[in-house]
Amino acid sequence: MAVDLELFQEKLRYQAKNPELLKTALCHKSFSKENPGWDDNEKLEFLGDAVLDVVISDLLMQRYQEDKEGSLSRKRASLVNEDRLYRIARLYYIPSFILLGEAEKQNNLQENPRIVASAFEAIVGAIYFDRGFQAAFDWLEEAFAYVLEVGFSSHDFEKDYKTRFQEWVQEKFKQTPYYKVVSQTGPDHARVFQVEVWVNEEMWGQGEGNSKKSAAQDAARVALEKAIP
């Protein structure tokens, strides 16, 4: 299968010295298994994940100089996660270029957020290999420019504990947390709910509130304090 690397570089707004690196970044392991001689993108993804963390940390420290470490960590977790990377990748038409095995294509996994986010990280790794750290920094600064400028001011970042914990869990474990109501007490007009939040069969926090929603937020707050002290 041929990859139109010229078109891909145009969509990516990046001109590679070695376009073969970008081709590898697009190659899912299911494709490489069916096409001997093609390397999959997992090692580039590993590298890109590290580069992404460094660059986003740098950009956040530049823009939020008064923030403490905990606040910067929470902001980074809201940027470097599967959902966010998927959305940014779509702006560069990355899903339409990903190389998948036949079964994966039949199941339309080209739009699978995990696969797309992994390809995004692999592309970051490819750019780093191709032209060095500054090139990767510049490309990521442009890719994240909008959300860095308006993303945090446009929603109540410090209070939306459920969203923040979910983004942290997706980045750390590639999973989604789930919530369980463990008790409800009191009369109908003054109910008190207790909710637990779980990840990978481990209970991360328990919260209490006068609605399931507020109890879940409280549980996520406790979990975040455990996750990011």
Positions annotated as catalytic residues are 49, 121
53: pLDDT confidence band, cut at 50, 70 and 90? very high
Contact 13, 95 (CB under 8 A): no
| 3 state SS of 182 | strand
Residue 1 confidence (pLDDT): 54
50: pLDDT confidence band, cut at 50, 70 and 90? very high
pLDDT over 90 at 118, yes or no: yes
Dihedral sign of CA atoms 9, 10, 14, 18 in order: positive
Q: Cα(first)–Cα(last) distance of the chain, in Å?
A: 48
DSSP H helical ranges for 147-211: 161-173
Q: Check residues 203 and 106 and name the one with the higher pLDDT.
A: 203
Give the whole-angstrom CA distance, residue 170 versus residue 22: 25
pLDDT in tens, 163-195: 888 888 888 888 889 999 999 988 776 788 999
pLDDT in tens, 58-75: 999 999 899 888 888 878
Instruction: Look over the chain and give the mean of its residue pLDDT values, rounded to a whole number.
Output: 89
Domains defined for the chain, CATH in brackets: 5-151 (1.10.1520.10), 161-227 (3.30.160.20)
pLDDT over 90 at 90, yes or no: yes
Residue 154 confidence (pLDDT): 43
User: What pTM was estimated for this model as a whole?
Assistant: 0.70
Contact 199, 171 (CB under 8 A): no
Give buried/exposed letters for 38-54 (b at 16+ CB in 10 A, else e): bebbbebbebbbebbee
Residue 189 confidence (pLDDT): 66
